[in-house]
Structures are given as structure tokens and as C-alpha cells.
Amino acid sequence: MHVDYLIVGFGLASLAFVDTLIEENKTFIVFEDASQTSSNVAGGVYNPVILKRFTPVWQAKEQLEIAIPFYEKLEKKFANHYDYKSDIYRIFKSIEEQNNWFAAADKPRLTSYLDTSIINDSFKGVRSSFGFGKVKHTGRLDTKLLLSDYKKHLVAHSLIRYETFDYSDLQLSNETTTYQDITCDKILFCEGYGMTTNPYFQYLPMTGTKGEILTIHAPELSIDFQIKSSVFVLPLGNSYFKVGATFNWDDKSLDATVEGREELIEKLETVIDVPYTVFSQTAGIRPTVKDRRPLVGIHPNYKQLCILNGLGTRGVMVAPKMAQELFHFLEKGTPLNPEIDIKRFEDLI
């Protein structure tokens, strides 16, 4: 069996690349073992503003211009709903934060996203003494449902194998690239934090950050927007909400922890003051990189080995653009942005 691409791992990054391959009539096979969960358990929020400091997200405008139409296309493709538009209400903690908000809203890269009016409305169950600032053009992607639908599509067309990729079975030469019964032109690794065990790319400086999220049921909390404070509170419908997330740089397990639960509950109770019950708790390892830029490109010694990884906490926004840039680089020779090209780490080999 010969394909243009063999793809290892299936999260948002590889989904976006696979869809590009389909559009471009390229052949491929995906290997997926569900060892990485970050795309499935993510909050799925897309937000162009860093709300801790009121600064723009790197390439936010360019990312959203590609991502929003991309997800709209997939909704039509699978006749399902994934993209839930909802504003983010940032809770102000002081008059100083309000003033910082106004100053940020005047900046050209933020003016279209930050509403210049302070929202002083009271919302039952939400604690706020200094009002809210509203971020526009934001929303939530149901990543779990989207990935599930796409995998069903791949299964139906025999384009995915639920197997762990065995690096020892990979045979590389100048003429051919062979893995078990498959020959291919290129292998693309989209393994998330699993990259740290990849013998070809483990030299790259992925730190990985564990995040835990709660799903709560709060019948008296009636909001149709996202809340951002020390945690985010994200409406899911029917009085269910996601609450997150923790950041743990030491624990690399996928286990939900008591410590994570207690941290989220403690922070949540500074944000809402209505009864709730914890419905579930999930955990995943975000594929974060020390310079907070994606890992995109080809191996310095094996030109048939490629990588698309390191999307960090903003995979929903970043994935479609990075997949497009990688495809244009591999197939059309368009140079990669040096900020994302893994050549920046060649001195680590």
C-alpha cells in the first residue's frame, strides 16, 4: 500500500491537515491510539485576547480568518453543530483593571475585540463588584464531537488505524519510506505531548502543561456568555458548565486529581455564589513549547519526516492556519514563518 502521507496521532492539528489533504486529493492513512487527550478534553474556547494582561494573542486576526470558515465548512460537511458563538465577560477586580481595559481597547489590534462599555449589570449567581468587560468575536468549539465525527468519517473510508505507531518498524532511505505494509512519501507526526517519546523529534523543547477541567451542574446560574476570572465558566446548555483550567508543569499523568478539583472549586467559589454539583472531571497534557510558538517543519536529517505540534492552549485557533502553512511548505515550497519553523531549535540536536 502506498500513500502520500502517513499521519501519526489525531487531534485538532492532524484533523486540520487531513482535511487539507482531502481537499487537495492527496492520499493518506492515520495511526491513532488515543494516548493523548488534550484536544478531546479541552474547553475549546477561541479568544483573540490574553485576558490576564489585555494584550492580543499572537496572529489572532490571521488565525480566526482561517479558523472560523474552516469550522463552518466542517459543520456543513457533517451536518452537525460544533461552533457556539458566545461573548466572554471578563470580571474586573478593581478600578485599575477597568482603566487598563479602556487603554487596551484603544490599541489598533484590540479595538475590534474589546467593547469599550463597562457592563455593570447584575447576573444572578455571578460575583462582580466592579463590572465586566466584554470580548467580542469569541466562542467555543465542541472539539470532542468534531473529532468523533471526523474519526467516523475516516473509519468509513478505511483511512484510520487504531494502533500505536511503532518507531522501530520505520525504515528510512533516500528512495523509500516504509512502515510495516505501507510505503509513503512523507510521515507527519501530530502526537501532542507524546512527541517526547518520539526518537526523531524528542530533541524539541516541549514542556507540556497538565490541565484539569470540571463540568458542573448549576440550575440557578443563568448565563449565555462565558465568564473569565481566576477560572473560566463556560455554558454548555441545560445548566451545565465547564470550569477550568489548572496549569501544572510537573505532573505529566492523565489522571484527574483531588488537588486539581480542590483548586478549581476554590477559584470557582470566588466567581459564583449559587449551588452546584460537580458532574465530571477530566485532565489532559497541553503540548506547550518554551517559546509559545508551534512546532512546524521537517526533520533536519530526514526530509521525509514532518511535524505539526506545539499548539499549546489555543489549538482551536491555531490548528487550521498551521496546517495550511505546513501543506503549502511541503507541497508548494512556500517558506515557513521562522517563528514556527523547527529550524529555530536545530542547535539542540
Contact residues for 26 (Cβ-Cβ < 8 A; gap 6+): 4, 5, 331
pTM: 0.94
Please report the pLDDT score of residue 189 as a whole number.
Answer: 98
Query: What phi and psi values does residue 79 have, to the nearest 5 degrees?
Result: 50, 50
Q: H helices of 87-234, where?
A: 95-105, 143-156
Per-residue pLDDT tens digits of the chain, which is 349 residues long: 999 999 999 999 999 999 999 999 999 999 999 877 666 677 899 999 999 999 999 999 999 999 999 999 999 999 999 999 999 999 999 999 999 999 999 999 999 999 999 999 889 999 999 999 999 999 999 999 999 999 999 999 999 999 999 999 999 988 789 999 999 999 999 999 999 999 999 999 999 999 999 999 999 998 999 999 999 999 999 999 999 999 999 999 989 999 999 999 999 999 999 999 999 999 999 999 999 999 999 999 999 999 999 999 899 999 999 999 999 999 999 999 999 999 999 888 7
Q: List pLDDT tens digits, range 176-225.
A: 899 999 999 999 999 999 999 999 999 999 999 999 999 999 999 989 99
Cell 500505536 belongs to which residue? Answer: 164
Measured CA to CA, the distance from residue 231 to residue 1 in angstroms comes to: 49
Reduced 3-state DSSP string for 277-298: EEEEEEEEEECCECCCCCEEEE
Please report the pLDDT score of residue 349 as a whole number.
Answer: 76
Q: Work out the angle between the directed axes of helices 60-78 and 12-23 (0-180°, nearest 10).
A: 70
Measured CA to CA, the distance from residue 152 to residue 137 in angstroms comes to: 30
Q: How many Å from the N-terminal Cα to the C-terminal Cα in the chain? A: 33
For residue 345, give the DSSP letter: G
Decide: helix, strand or coil at residue 133.
strand
Please report the pLDDT score of residue 118 as a whole number.
Answer: 92
Measured CA to CA, the distance from residue 94 to residue 70 in angstroms comes to: 38
Domain architecture of the chain: domains with CATH: 2-41+144-205+290-348 (3.50.50.60), 87-137+209-286 (3.30.9.10)
Measured CA to CA, the distance from residue 222 to residue 219 in angstroms comes to: 7
Measured CA to CA, the distance from residue 164 to residue 263 in angstroms comes to: 34
Spell 59-72 as b/e; 16+ CB within 10 A means b. bbeebbebbbebbe
